[in-house]
Amino acid sequence: MELQNYLGVYVSRDQAAAVYLGGETGSQVLGCFSVSTAGRDDAGYPALAAMVAQGCAQRGWVFAETALAVDCSMFMQHRVHSEFADARQIGSTIRFDTEETLATDISDVALAYEVLSSSERGSQLCVFTAKQDILRQIIAAFAGHGMDPVSVEPDIRCLSRFVTDACAAADGQPRTLFGMLGRTSGYLVFSTSSNGKPKAQTPGRTFLIGGRQNRQELLGREVVVTTAMVETTDPITRICVYDTARQVDSALLGQRTGIETGEFDVSAAAGGLDVSQQCEDAVAFSIACGAGFGLSQKAEPVDFRRDFMPYLGRRRRLEKSLKFLSISIGVLLVASSFMFVLGVRFVPLADMLALIMSAPLIVTALSPALLGEPVGARRVIACLLGFAGALLVIQPGAGTMQWWSLLGIAAGTTFSFYLIITRKLAGSAPPFVTLAYTAVIGAGVMTTSLPFVWVTPAPREAALMVLIGCSAAAGHYLLIRAYERAPAVLLAPFNYTELLGATLIGFWWFGDFPNLWTWGGIAVIVVSGLYLTLGERRARA
């Protein structure tokens, strides 16, 4: 199984924390560090991004994707009501509803939101607003260092994801409020239910912390305000606190609120990693980790970027890969055809056909590794039966092996990769696009040889060439559609049926009546196809 690593980054105005995730689930914390531009002449987001990129390079971190979480000083949080419960309708009217609620122009503002509750009367939303210019600077800074972020989320949303994952909160467990005090920001987030939705209609709170403020008094005041906002049908029964500055006494907080209070162990939540030795601010680490969890867990992000500057990196990589694969199948098909035509000049046609018919066997052998498709005894037997039938039809000579026969083996191998890549493209590119790439590349490559071998065809020959082209195009189109709908290893034995068509055409067109060996081979090929088809049907049933 292919392992993917991810990078989660928390960004404030002068600080950043990076967390490296990987392992089998992609959510194991492999490392972390923090950087700061405080006291530096080159302070700013480009400097932070450069320091994060340098830290990743020094540690040898290689990751597939990056997610950012921005500090609460960069955005504002609002409660907004929507008249709709449908997600599409909410998305199409969210900007209007927010502008109406705030009574101000938000044309230069990026929005991110999550639905807190829905009913017949509409939906309650938590909407985050941030200046597009600031977010654009952050995105450009990190993209410029090879860390183009897939998503840019509010820090409180990422922190909520982290504590939920760490505590594995579920319905029926005590309702918990997490109070997390970082270097300059404070957060109050709720435990979530097993489906990831908030248990109450209160999304959590963020607040800034001044350098001279009493952190104990500040947290106590914010907890009292927050608990008063929670529905009485689902009250807070436990508080977990963590303070980077170590100035909050959980016992005193419990006495003030009358709610059971304990400490939150960030290192234990991080899988035993000693966070304090690698990050100056464990809360910043928690936020960055939550941002990375959004990628590894394929969670729906509360994403600022989606509103004004959608991430296109994955789409561009996909388009580039599809283009490369489409060009590759054109080159492979031309190469296979060229080697076959060249080979029959030196090797008997029957021998070349036998060698190129090795393609289905190669597809069957390589499908588990290259396509992740199971083979199974039934498919192997069907493929071997088909190959045996093909040999009976072709009846290759038993003479000494010629070096030119390697062209037949190469043609079969090349054609097998053509089939595998065609299966790889299934569902990603329209059949006519794949077919067009094949035709254009084939025409372009073969046209270069025309000045050396051109012979003007007679009208009948030209008509036959057109018929060949149309038949080939139709055949390849049907082949592409087949590989869209079925595994390559299942279709591989059916490649031998082309010999049936060739035998019938030879009899009708050239008067070549099949001999006893040919009829026997045809029977074996038909049996192999029926065996595979009926076996697969029984397996599905």
Express each pLDDT in 44-96 by its tens digit: 899 999 999 999 999 999 998 999 999 999 999 999 999 998 888 898 899 99
Q: Could you tell me if 186 and 155 are in contact, meaning their C-beta atoms sit under 8 angstroms apart?
A: no
CA 80, 85, 87, 88 torsion-angle sign: negative
Query: What is the pLDDT at residue 420?
Result: 83
513 occurs within a structural domain: yes
Answer whether residue 194 is part of any domain: yes
Which pLDDT tens digit goes with each residue over 400-459? Answer: 446 676 787 788 788 888 888 887 777 666 777 777 877 888 788 778 877 877 888 888
**Chain-wide mean pLDDT for the chain?**
81
196 pLDDT more than 60: no
Q: What is the pLDDT of residue 261?
A: 92
281 plus 404 within the same structural domain: no
Of residues 537 and 154, the one with the higher pLDDT is 154
Judge contact between 509 and 352, C-beta under 8 A.
no
- 507 or 294, greater pLDDT: 294
Do 416 and 380 lie in a common domain? yes
Take residue 380 and report the two structure tokens written for it. Answer: 């192997």
Q: Judge whether 1 lies within some domain.
A: no
User: Taking a C-beta distance cutoff of 8 angstroms, is the pair 122, 83 a contact?
Assistant: yes
Domain boundary among 311, 333, 352: 311
Instruction: Give the burial class of 44: count Cβ atoms within 10 A of its Cβ; 0-12 exposed, 13-18 middle, 19 or more buried.
Output: middle
Q: Are 118 and 233 in the same domain?
A: yes
Q: Are residues 80 and 188 in the same domain?
A: yes
Q: Supply the pLDDT for residue 383.
A: 74
Residue ending a domain, among 270, 289, 311, is 311
Residue 90 lies in a domain: yes
Element (DSSP H or E) covering residue 483: helix 459-485
Looking at the predicted structure, is the pLDDT value of residue 368 above 90?
Answer: no
When mean pLDDT is compared over 36-45, 357-366, 483-492, the highest value belongs to 36-45
- The parent domain of residue 235 ranges over 6-311
**Higher pLDDT residue, 517 or 311?**
311
Residue 442: the pLDDT is: 79
Would you state the pLDDT for residue 38? 84
Q: What is the pLDDT of residues 447-464, one digit of tens each?
A: 887 787 788 888 888 898
Tell me: pLDDT of 303 over 80.
yes
The neighbour count for residue 514, using CB atoms within 10 Å, is 15
Within-domain flag for 505: yes
C-alpha span between 540 and 537 (Å, rounded): 5
Task: State the pLDDT confidence band at 522, using cuts at 50, 70 and 90.
Answer: low
Higher pLDDT, 271 or 365: 271
Largest CA distance in the chain: 101
To the nearest whole percent, how much of the chain has pLDDT over 90?
A: 31
Per-residue pLDDT, averaged over 331-358, amounts to: 76
What confidence category does residue 170 fall into, taking pLDDT thresholds of 50, 70 and 90? very low
pLDDT of residue 200: 40
- Looking from the CA of 76 toward its CB, the CA atoms found within 13 Å total 10
pLDDT at residue 378 tops 80? no
Domain shared by 249 and 330, yes or no: no
Is there a single domain that holds both residue 289 and residue 438?
no
- Domain boundary (257, 278, 311) is at 311
**CB neighbourhood size of 229 (10 A):** 10
Domain membership flag for residue 279: yes
Give the C-alpha separation, 419 to 423, whole Å.
Answer: 6
Range with the largest mean pLDDT of 201-210, 237-246, 444-453: 237-246
Does the structure show a pLDDT above 70 at 318? Answer: no
Q: Is 428 exposed, middle or buried (0-12, 13-18, 19+ CB in 10 A)?
A: middle
Do 344 and 462 belong together in one domain?
yes
> How many domains are there within the chain?
2
Q: Do 232 and 327 sit in the same domain of this protein?
A: no
Residues 107 and 165 in one domain: yes
Q: How confident is the model at residue 33 (pLDDT cuts 50, 70, 90)?
A: very high
Q: Are residues 280 and 331 in the same domain?
A: no
Residues 332, 370 within the same domain: yes
Whether residue 169 is found in the same domain as residue 230 = yes
- Highest mean pLDDT, choosing among 82-96, 390-404, 499-513: 82-96
CA–CA dist 173, 197 (Å, integer): 15
CATH number at residue 237: 3.30.420.380
Give yes or no for a contact between 308 and 44, defined as CB atoms under 8 angstroms apart. Answer: no
Q: Is the pLDDT of residue 221 over 70?
A: yes
**Helices 405-424 & 313-343 angle (0-180, nearest 10):** 160
